[in-house]
Amino acid sequence: MTFIEKLQELLEAHVPFVSVTVVDTQGSAPQNPGAKMLVTDDGHFFGTVGGGKVEKRAIEEAKQLLEAREERTHFAQWSLTRDLGMTCGGGIKLYFETYNCTMWKIVVFGAGHVANALIDLLIKLDCRITCIDPRQEWLDKLPQSPKLKKILTSEMPSEVESIPNDAFVLLITMGHTTDKPILLKILSSGKKFQYLGVIGSKAKAIRLKKDVIEAGLPEELQSAFYCPIGLDIGSNDPQEIAVSVTAQLLQERDKLRS
């Protein structure tokens, strides 16, 4: 498969990635101008810009750009001896270009009946979803899609730090016992997501607000999340809840874009 075909594959799968191109070299360099490489969040995906220390540094630089989750371009020029510790001398100039980095990002804690129904609906939209759950059997029920990342972990609150600030975050876990530590971790971290919601009734919302105060957090954080989530439509059927929550997410997304 060619570089262009691989690039198109990532574009169509809505996977965030960086294209790295050698644009100039001086002296002894491991690749010629025009050499290309694709890098995803997982690291090297396709192609090469020379291997060894050059490629290792280029992958690190690309992953830093991906962490920013911005559509941007970037030039980097390195002395192979001074900057990379190579003995062959020479220099290299690389061009970095990010793709698919400003997509609508949605993170769902939980993979139960409602989460499954919600993700089945969201995956048809132009977004990228991460689902986090400690139960492999429930993660396995989710559709297979390059737009969906599944994370199996027994320590769901530990995933909070890796969530980008522009994400929409939903807590739809097994119940209050598992939602509470994730919510408190988010609120105490100082991270402010574009949307934060916890599934539950009005009674659960009152309990969660008490949890915020009992955790010693500022009183204003009681209103920093939605609970219940979704628009006031439909029944308690998981499919109808999924429709109401998706509608609210779209509504909040469009407010931010207007």
The DSSP line for 203-225 is: HHHHHHHHHHHHTT--GGGGGSS
pLDDT category at 86 given cuts 50, 70, 90 is confident
At 179-222, the pLDDT tens digits run 999 999 999 999 999 999 999 999 999 999 999 999 999 999 99
- Can you tell me the mean pLDDT for 20-40? 91
At 101-143, the pLDDT tens digits run 878 999 999 999 999 999 999 999 989 899 999 999 999 999 9
Q: Residue 123 is encoded by which pair of tokens?
A: 């995956």
pLDDT category at 251 given cuts 50, 70, 90 is very high
At residue 236, what are phi and psi to the nearest 5 degrees?
-90, 10
CA–CA separation, 7 and 207 (whole Å): 48
- pLDDT of 177 higher than 90: yes
The answer to whether 200 touches 228, Cβ cutoff 8 Å, is yes
The pLDDT assigned to 77 comes to 93
All domains in the chain, ordered by first residue? 3-99 (no CATH), 104-257 (3.40.50.720)
- pLDDT of 39 higher than 80: yes
The pLDDT assigned to 234 comes to 92
Side by side, which strands form the sheet with 17-26? 43-47, 36-40, 17-26, 91-99, 73-79
The answer to whether 104 touches 130, Cβ cutoff 8 Å, is no
- In this prediction the pTM is 0.73
- pLDDT of 31 higher than 90: no
- Can you tell me the mean pLDDT for 2-29? 90
